[in-house]
């Protein structure tokens, strides 16, 4: 019984931390966001909504600079102020921004956003809990193993999630008559942006698989759809 107690404690601690970080993230997003109201984007968003057979798609602006899109655990979709600015500057088209929104919708629809919370801010709690348990079994090495296992697990989870969300977005954009091209061009643009300003890697790219791999996966989808349609 005494041996199980610390493990139980660690699990409870991880759960509590998870709840807390979900709550904190929600609060942070509430305080630092406004609803996106852009006449130029409304038309594109209406097309996406029609393709999904929903009245409308609500998008929020998250007031931070790094170029990023995110899906909150409660299902809300956010585009950062930095990303929106790129659209306003003409660096990113409305269709390209819509491709990010479609990607985030994919995370919500496929149930990734809750799971991604572990990735987003709860990961340290899981790591700490695992380190505590493993540290008792293998002193010294336990913490190291816990770190490695958590990182590996998170990377695997997010990798497959990204490809799934891309595929969802590709299908949605195709149905909406926008097509997959903006998705691919945005990847290349963000990649070029990374090259131009070393050290200023957009957060959205950093947390995602390699650009070439994502474009290749989209092209494979396109080919498959072409052949099944023809
Ligand atoms: Zn994603």
pLDDT in tens, the chain (230 residues): 556 777 777 777 777 877 777 788 788 888 899 999 898 899 999 999 999 999 999 999 999 888 888 888 788 999 999 999 999 999 999 999 999 999 999 999 998 866 655 554 456 667 777 787 888 888 878 778 877 777 777 777 678 888 999 999 999 999 999 999 999 999 888 877 655 454 455 555 655 677 888 999 999 999 988 877 65
Cα separation, 145 vs 168, whole angstroms? 34
How much distance in Å is there from the Cα of 111 to the middle of ligand 1? 12
Residues with CB under 5 A from ligand 1 (ion): 162, 165
- Extract the runs of DSSP E, i.e. beta strands, from the chain: 33-35, 59-62, 69-71, 77-80
The Cα–Cα gap between 80 and 70 comes to: 8
CA 14–ligand 1 middle distance (angstroms): 24
- Burial pattern 92-117, b for ≥16 Cβ within 10 A else e, equals bbbbbbbbbbbbbbbbbbeebbeebb
Query: How many angstroms is it from 103 CA to the middle of ligand 1?
Result: 6
Query: What per-residue confidence (pLDDT) applies to 198?
Result: 44
Dist. CA 138 → ligand 1 center (Å): 35
For residue 132, what pLDDT is reported?
79
- How many angstroms is it from 205 CA to the middle of ligand 1? 9
pLDDT at 88: 94
Q: What is residue 60's three-state secondary structure? A: strand
Rounded CA separation 168/159 (Å) = 14
Distance CA 138, CA 220 (A): 45
> What is the pLDDT at residue 119?
52
Distance in Å, CA 142 to ligand 1 centroid: 31
Q: How far is the CA of 119 from the centre of ligand 1 (A)?
A: 11
CA 6 / ligand 1 centre spacing (Å):
35
Please tell me the distance between residue 38's alpha carbon and the centre of ligand 1 in angstroms.
Answer: 23
């Amino acid at each position: 019984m005494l041996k199980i107690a610390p493990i139980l404690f660690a699990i409870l601690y991880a759960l509590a931390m998870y709840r807390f970080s979900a709550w904190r993230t929600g609060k942070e997003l509430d305080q630092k966001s406004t609803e996106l109201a852009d006449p130029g984007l409304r038309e594109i968003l209406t097309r996406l909504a029609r393709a999904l057979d929903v009245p409308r798609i609500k998008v929020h602006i998250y007031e931070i600079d790094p170029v990023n899109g995110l899906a909150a655990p409660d299902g809300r979709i956010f585009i950062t102020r930095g990303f929106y600015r790129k659209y306003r500057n003409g660096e990113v088209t409305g269709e390209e921004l819509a491709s990010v929104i479609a990607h985030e919708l994919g995370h919500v629809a496929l149930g990734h956003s809750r799971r991604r919370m572990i990735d987003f801010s709860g990961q340290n709690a899981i790591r700490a809990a695992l380190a505590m348990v493993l540290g008792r079994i293998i002193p010294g090495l336990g913490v190291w193993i816990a770190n490695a296992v958590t990182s590996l697990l998170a990377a695997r989870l997010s990798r497959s999630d990204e490809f799934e969300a891309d595929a969802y977005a590709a299908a949605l954009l195709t149905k909406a008559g926008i097509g997959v091209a903006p998705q691919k061009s945005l990847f290349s643009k963000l990649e070029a942006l990374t090259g131009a300003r070393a050290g200023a890697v957009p957060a959205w790219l950093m947390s995602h698989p390699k650009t070439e791999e994502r474009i290749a996966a989209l092209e494979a989808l396109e080919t498959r759809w072409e052949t099944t349609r023809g």
